[in-house]
Amino acid sequence: MASAVELAAATREFVERLVLPVDDAHDGDVEAAGGDKLRVRLQGEARAAGLLSPHGPVEYGGLGLGMVDRAPVLEAAGHSLFGAMAINANAPDEGNVHLLDLVASPAQRERYLAPLVAGQQRSAFAMTEPAPGAGSDPGHLTTGAVRGDGGWVISGRKHFITGADGAGFFIVMARTSGEVGSAQGATMFLVPADRPGLVVERHIHTMDRSMIGGHCEVTLADVFVPDDDVLGEVGRGFAHAQVRLGPARMTHVMRWSGAARRAHETAVRYAAERPMFGSRLCDLGMAQQQIADNEIDLAATRALLLQACAELDAGERASKATSIAKTFAAEALGRVVDRATQLCGGLGVSQDLPVARIARELRPFRIYDGPSEVHRWSIAKRAVREVVG
């Protein structure tokens, strides 16, 4: 099998040859570029090239890469806003593959995990709810599941559910015990998209446009789920979510590092070619500082990412390391793209260069998968416990 370095190089070549032209032609708007038809076509090309599902288990056709090894591969894919989708490592599918691989029963693996790894269907993770329901504080989960004959009946509302439109199935978090506000009593359920009572109501239009299936509002009205489709243990939903959240945050960092690096490389190339005041833009001190600061933020992001990935590969929860890496990366990569925009001047805010759309797509990362403020709160609480008990 090829090494991670070789796979990263092959992925970069694949993305530049087949994916970037589509991304550039449609300004990073995945629906305008063809939506699921585009996904199926690009994933077919990735499968033929031996690049599909680098994170997926080998038994289902994935490449079985650990967290450290998948970092350079997903960064290479992230060079295009459609790159992760093209190799079947897009959110939320990538995180759902990880969760199912560790938690699903043998029957669930065959029914849900196998087609997900193969790119035969997409999925969605349905936890977030409209206020006052679950959001940054998942303990406010209001969607409920009550016992029925041979299973559970789920009712509730979800929103900002990424990939919901066109998903083959949903992983739904619902409360099976405890009071709203309690950090206990949640359970995960596997719900096929065609189950009666599950309705994708609408797209919530956000500033980012590269996520296939959008960010949607979903209602569940007396949706029946048999016991066989309970994912993991009843009442252990929040604990099982931790299996998914840390790795998923790090793969976001990998993908967005690739996007930010493309913006940086675009700006450096522009600065090296742009004559200004008798020299080149890249020879001016203020431009050199911005270029150097970008290099520093990219290197620091990668170092924190690899530290967290090493802990995850060692079987640790890595809650502190992943929170630190996610928070730093979301802000540092934003700085990288902002400096790239400034270096490119008027072209930096135009569609003539990819920098503006990367800025548009990257900004929500400071909110998605936990706002920076919530991660800082968690990091600070952990620091106090470590020092004073």
Q: Which H or E run contains 340?
A: helix 319-343
Q: Using CB atoms within 10 A of its CB, is residue 315 exposed (0-12), middle (13-18) or buried (19+)?
A: exposed
3 state SS of 216: strand
Band the pLDDT of 32: cuts 50, 70, 90: very high
Which has the closest alpha carbon to 319: 239, 245, 237? 245
In the chain, where does the domain assigned CATH 1.20.140.10 lie? 238-388
Is residue 232 within 8 A of residue 103, CB to CB? The reply is: yes
What is the amino acid identity at position 87? I
Residue 225 pairs in a beta bridge with 152
Cβ of 387: how many Cβ atoms within 10 Å? 7
Angle among Cα 142, 148, 151 to the nearest 5 degrees reads 90
CA-closest candidate to residue 165, choices 124, 197, 196, 125: 124
With beta carbons less than 8 A apart as the criterion, state whether 214 and 165 touch.
yes
Q: What is the pLDDT of residue 181?
A: 87
| Contact criterion met (CB below 8 Å) for 198 and 175 | no
What distance in Å separates the CA atoms of residue 96 and residue 231, rounded to the nearest whole number? 11
**Token pair listed for 168:** 């083959």
The per-residue pLDDT for range 201-257, each reduced to its tens digit, is 999 999 999 999 999 999 999 999 999 999 999 999 999 999 999 999 999 999 999
- Judged by DSSP in three states, 177 sits in coil
- CATH, domain range 4-117: 1.10.540.10
Q: Where in the chain is the domain with CATH 1.10.540.10?
A: 4-117
Tokens 């599902």, residue?
A: 53
Summarised one tens digit per residue, pLDDT across range 166-208 is: 999 999 999 999 999 888 999 999 999 999 999 999 999 999 9
So what's the pLDDT on residue 40?
Answer: 98
pLDDT average, residue stretch 281-309:
98
CATH superfamily of the 238-388 domain: Butyryl-CoA Dehydrogenase, subunit A, domain 3 (1.20.140.10)
| pLDDT at site 182 | 85
Picking from 21-25, 161-165, 368-372, which range would have the lowest pLDDT averaged per residue?
368-372
Helix (H) or strand (E) holding 98: helix 93-103
pLDDT at 1 over 90: no
Residues of the chain with CATH 2.40.110.10: 123-235
φ, ψ dihedrals at 154, nearest 5°: -110, 135
More confident residue, 209 or 389: 209
> In this predicted structure, what is the pLDDT of residue 183?
83
For residue 158, pLDDT over 90 is answered with yes
pLDDT in tens, 99-137: 999 999 999 999 999 999 999 999 999 999 999 999 999
In tens, the pLDDT along 300-329 reads: 999 999 999 999 999 999 999 999 999 999
Q: What is the number of residues in the chain?
A: 389
Q: Which CATH number fits domain 123-235: 2.70.98.70, 3.50.50.60, 3.40.50.1100, 2.40.110.10?
A: 2.40.110.10
Q: Please, which pLDDT band fits residue 389 given cuts at 50, 70 and 90?
A: confident
- Structure-block tokens of residue 44: 């077919």
pLDDT tens for each residue of 2-17:
899 999 999 999 999 9
Q: What is the pLDDT of residue 69?
A: 98
Q: How many CB atoms lie within 10 A of CB 181?
A: 11
For residue 116, what are its two tokens? 């997900």
The mean per-residue pLDDT over the stretch 264-268 comes to 98
Identity of residue 3? S
Alpha-carbon span 143 to 141, nearest angstrom: 6
Strands, E, within 247-309: which ranges?
275-276, 279-280
CA geometry: angle 56, 323, 89, nearest 5 deg:
20
Are 144 and 155 in contact, with CB atoms under 8 Å apart?
A: yes
Q: Is the pLDDT of residue 90 over 80?
A: yes
| 346-376 tens-digit pLDDT | 999 999 999 999 999 999 999 999 999 999 9
Taking the alpha carbons at both ends of the chain, their separation in whole angstroms is 47
